[in-house]
Amino acid sequence: MKTAAIIGASDDRRKYGKKAARAFVRQGDKVFAVNPKEKIIWG
């Protein structure tokens, strides 16, 4: 299992940050979604 921080993660499925985070999670990796502009990222 790997651990990754996705800087600029978003709750919007069309954005790259969400796609990247989901790809890591699907592989079984631990993900820290980071975006100070978003209140909810995995909502």
Q: What does the pLDDT read at residue 6?
A: 93
Residue 30 and residue 2 in contact, taking contact as beta carbons nearer than 8 Å: yes
What is the dihedral angle through the alpha carbons of 31, 42, 40, 34, rounded to the nearest 10 degrees?
20
Domain layout of the chain by residue ranges: 3-34
pLDDT at 34: 93
Q: What is the pLDDT of residue 24?
A: 93
- pLDDT at position 30 is 95
pLDDT per position as a tens digit, 1-43: 899 999 999 888 899 988 999 999 999 999 999 999 888 887 6
Give the H or E element holding residue 33: strand 30-34
> Please, what is the Cα angle at 42 between 37 and 36, to 5 degrees?
15
* Pairing outcome for strands 30-34 and 3-7: parallel
pTM of the model: 0.76
